[in-house]
Structure 1
Amino acid sequence: MIQNIILLLFFFLLPLLLFFLIKPSSSSSNIPKSYPIIGSYLSLRANAHRRIQWLSDVVRASPGATFTFRRVLGTKSIITANPANVQHILKNNFPNYRKGSIFVGTLSDFLGNGIFNTNGEDWKFQRQVASHEFNTKSLRNFVENVVDTELSDRLLPILSGAAANQEQTLDLQDILQRFAFDNICRIAFGYDPQYLNISFERSNFAEAYQEATEISSLRFREPLPLLWKLKRALDIGSEKRLRIAVSQVRDSANKLVREKKKELQDNSSLRSADMLSRFLSSGHSDEDFVTDIVISFILAGKDTTSAALTWFFWLLSKNPRVEKEIVKEINEKSEAPVYDEVKEMVYTHAALCESMRLYPPVPTDSKEAVNDDVLPDGTAVKKGMMVTYHVYAMGRMESIWGPDWAEFRPERWLERVEGGGSSWRFVARDSFSYPVFQAGPRICLGKEMAFMQMKRVVAGVLRRFRVVPAAAEGVEPEFITFLTSQMKGGFPVNIVQRQV
């Protein structure tokens, strides 16, 4: 009897000893080893510094580009880079794959019931009201008034000053985040925070927002949710910092909502002036709910386009041929009105798509299965299981992009116009092979607006300047991700006046 108990204890405690005591080492094989109780945690911990890249290697090496990941205490999740599976999850069997309890619970302190952290009627309502902001009239206003003003009055003068002082180094990632933050606040909330300014002072709100984003994201990396929940209950460590940061974010967002409410009371004609006004005029006047909406849309507008542009400018610096083609297109379109110029930048559009293929702003996205299911490649999905489609990995699949997938080549998105000389026609890929903007019912509402903003920035900057990385030759930036991707440590650059 005692011997049996000892054996049971041995077999139970051995995996725990592995968990806590063994120093993990990277395996030469892309497929991680799995152990009782702890699953593949050791491999995950060994590759924590390059988690996105490692999981990309794993899924690309797996049959059918799908891998079932064994986690701590026997839980499993599925990671896929198979377009047929993505279409099944995001469209064909959409009702079965939702923002599940794990995802919603992990982000609820920060995002509450905002559009990115909810399902059902709340999600439908927010999407319906927000959709009015993305018609042609609003897009034209956004490009011609909001983006162009921010570009001309703030971004270009800062770059011009740096070009005049050749010793000055700018963090372009920080500048683009500030630029995008001002843009989303102005178009969505009718409020100009003036965050992009010559002093580069960091507001308490911006710092708190960044910290809340990072800590909320790191919750997903805990081997067990119990660990961050325990820290939250005890109000210690990162969870204490998160509580303080979220409180600061919500206070700032609440203030914005209250001021907008007062504006609407004083002037009812403003009811459809911006997205926030529409939400407040729709009958949903609960401040906490509208605050959740504000926080989510800042995340969408601030961190995604800035991430895409950061990697885009870095790739251009390494590919002068592409930069030359873009500058040529910019100069050819320079006489057109601003909105028309942006619409007609076909080569630049292709280059942005190509950049986001390699460095997607949101490199992975997860859903939770409502019921048991079977994916098109035969992978069994159990009720409650997390299913992740790996956008970063999909951009590196030879089966999708061909043997030259590693090349930055905008031409893969283009075809020559017959009889059009050097004119190009953009050829889109289906959104299930290229789910950078999601796909199906949850496809990104702001996709067109994002492209408009990015192309206007590219045209404004490259017409006058060259962006030169300040890092030593051959040093590549590190791709990291929280809720969206970033360059670790920022993107230090020098600005050089372009010779005409």
Structure 2
Amino acid sequence: MLLQFLVTIFLLILLPLLLSLIFLKTKTKPSHSIPKSYPLVGSFFAIFVNRNRRLQWLSDILQVSPSATYVLRRSYATRQVFTGNPAVVQHILKTNFHNYEKGHTFNRTLTDFLGHGIFNADGQSWKFQRQVSSHEFNTKSLRKFVETVVDTELSERLIPILSSAASNGTLLDFQDILQRFAFDNICKIAFGFDPAYLLPSLPQAKFALAFEDSVRISSGRFNELFPFIWKIKRLLNIGSEKRLRMANSEVRDFAMNIIREKKQELELGEKASLDSVDDLLSRFLSSGHSDENFVTDIVISFILAGRDTTSAALTWYFWLLSKNPHIQSEIVKEIKEKSEAPVYDEVKDMVYTHASLCESMRLYPPVPMDTKEAVNDDVLPGGTVVKKGMRVTYFPYAMGRLEMLWGSDWAEFKPERWLQKEENHWKFVGRDSYTYPVFQAGPRICLGKEMAFLQMKRVVAGVLRRFKVVPATVEQGVDPEFLVYLTSKMKGGFPVRIVERDENE
């Protein structure tokens, strides 16, 4: 502790001078280079200089690392492994799964927001939540989700809003629209509750604003150059930590109200069994776990998963389609070919659209990186030594940009790389989940993967059958900024104009 204190004082006193000296050297170096490490402070100065482009900087480092694995030395004693190597990903997510947990750092940083929900839990708590949740993702539930929940939200709310915008020339923030759509869907299917957030008036619900603040500020804790700063602010209840506490309170109150209403609903009916209830929240409440704080943690985790991941994926997907009209034409063609099929079968069999979604998430994954913490010492494939307590981060964003995995045309948006032509139709050819860990892999692979694809394909079919989504502000050669919170965002939203599609297109 004394050494850590002395190092901190050293950094605070000499920081201005050292930064000016190092910055002059660092900013002239090529971006694709391994950062220098100095005694005591490690690569602090490179981290500081690249603090506003951290994702791209780390991605660049992995591109020039021979094994796509790099150990970043943060300070005198703190090291973190970053990897884009499928063999390493398989090792930490499957082969040696029990040695890599969410860990103390991750848990402590997110407990105020996520509590002990499934995305912030290890051990028996994680196993229990996953076991109960898994019942929600069978074929019957998926069919119901697409045919009733998603289709109703699409036809009664999303399409009328888009139709009105097309008629009136209204500018829409499509990222916001998609978040509202996904939020209504996850609340309906998981909690049996309709927040009606995607109404024509686009209400500014206090909960939604608080949820955004909670995600943004909680994520920001990971990016603090000196983690003790957010801890001091939290202790003193000032600045961003005060806002986080207020936002978390609003979020938890919202979740608690859902739980209490569901409890009353279950008490009015007969005692439910796990096989008879038809939403996730009822399953947890009927499993004997009635602790409101614990169930609140679960509700918040599922809102995060259901609202933010699919909406992030679709935001970048519609932007990529606007840049690649020939791909959009192929998708519209497939939509028209499947239009006579029942809703569930239609989206299930949209092979080209499925491939295009996979390709979009290769370039813009909803969760760009994920971190585990070593329970015991280990050696990764390739020889990297991991000490107990070290964090190991696998990096879907960087992996989608590695030539060794995707070839020299990795920068192209190319659905065909997921397809194989058979006679007169396409066959989908997937990649293993360690090369493409967008939905995690191993025992913690995303339970909602199939549900997410069905929802996204239904939205794509419903929207593109009738409309074009046209970005309102497009600068030649300038891509929107990819922001990283707990999930990805498009900085400044996604302003678009909605245009009615010509029937002959």
Aligned residue number for residue 195 of structure 2: 193
**How many pairs are equivalent?**
488
Contact 1:172 1:491 in 2 (8 A): yes
Q: Distance in 2 between matches of 1:63 and 1:159?
A: 48
Counterparts of 2:429 and 2:238, CA distance in 1: 52
Does the CA contact (< 8 Å) of 1:19 and 1:42 recur in 2? Answer: no
> Which of 107, 111, 119 is the equivalent residue of 2:110?
107
The one of 238, 241, 244 aligned to 2:243: 241
Q: Give the Cα–Cα distance (whole angstroms) in 1 for the partners of residues 309 and 431 of structure 2.
A: 20
Distance in 2 separating the partners of 1:18 and 1:209: 38
CA distance in 2, matches of 1:147, 1:205: 22
Q: Which amino acid aligns with 1:51?
A: R
Please name the residue that 1:463 is paired with.
465
Match of 1:259 in 2: 261
Q: 2:323 matched to 1:318?
A: yes
Over 3 Å counting, the alpha-carbon distance change for 1:211 and 1:388 in structure 2 is same
Match of 2:72 among 69, 84, 93: 69
The letter of the residue matching 1:219 is R
Q: Quick one: which of 443, 446, 463 aligns to 2:445?
A: 443
Q: What is residue 181 of structure 1 aligned with on the other side?
A: 183
Instruction: Using structure 1 for the length normalisation, give the TM-score.
Output: 0.95
Q: Distance in 1 between matches of 2:203 and 2:53?
A: 31
Does the residue aligned with 1:74 lie in a helix, a strand or coil? coil
User: Alignment partner of 1:72: what SS?
Assistant: coil
Secondary structure at the aligned position of 1:268 is classed as: coil
Cα displacement string for residues 430-484 of structure 1 (whole angstroms, at most 9, x for unaligned residues): 0000000000000000000000000000000000000110113413210011000
Residue 11 and residue 389 in structure 1: after superposition, are their counterparts in 2 closer, same or farther (change >3 A)? Answer: closer
**Cα separation, 2, equivalents of 1:273 and 1:11:** 55
1:377 paired residue number: 382
2: CA distance between counterparts of 1:38 and 1:255? 47
Instruction: Judge which range, 67-76 or 191-200, deviates more.
Output: 67-76
Structure 2, gaps ≥5 residues long? 1-5
- Once the two structures are superposed, residues 411-441 of structure 1 have per-residue CA deviations (whole angstroms, 9 ceiling, x without a partner) of 0000012xx31x1000010000000000000
User: Against the structure 1 CA distance between its residues 38 and 159, is the aligned structure 2 distance closer, same or farther, given a 3 Å change threshold?
Assistant: same
Give the match for residue 6 of structure 1: none
Residue 20 of structure 1 and its aligned partner are, at CA, apart by 4.2
Corresponding residue for 1:133?
136
**Residue 203 in 1 paired to residue 205 in 2?**
yes
Name the SS of the counterpart of 2:469 in structure 1.
strand
Aligned-partner Cα distance in 2 for 1:191–1:50 = 39
Structure 1 vs Structure 2: percent identity of aligned residues? 67
Tell me what 1:7 maps to: none
1:28 Cα deviation after fit? 2.1
Of 466-475 and 252-261, deviating more is 466-475
2:93 to 90, 94, 97: 90
Instruction: For residue 78 of structure 1, give the secondary structure of its aligned residue in structure 2.
Output: strand
Look up the match of 1:433.
435
> SS state of the match for residue 77, structure 1?
strand
- In 2, Cα distance between equivalents of 1:16 and 1:376: 38
1:499 maps to which residue?
Answer: 502
Any unmatched runs of 5+ in structure 1? Answer: 1-9
1:404-443 equivalences in 2 (<5 Å): 404-417=409-422, 420-421=423-424, 423-443=425-445
Counterpart among 337, 343, 361 of residue 338 in structure 1 = 343
TM-score by length of 2: 0.94
**Separation (CA, whole Å) in 1 of partners of 2:209 and 2:323:** 31
* Contact map agreement 2:79 2:390 (CA 8 A) in 1: yes
Q: CA RMSD in A?
A: 1.6
C-alpha distance after superposition, 1:264-300 (max 9, x if no partner): 0001366512000000000000000000000000000
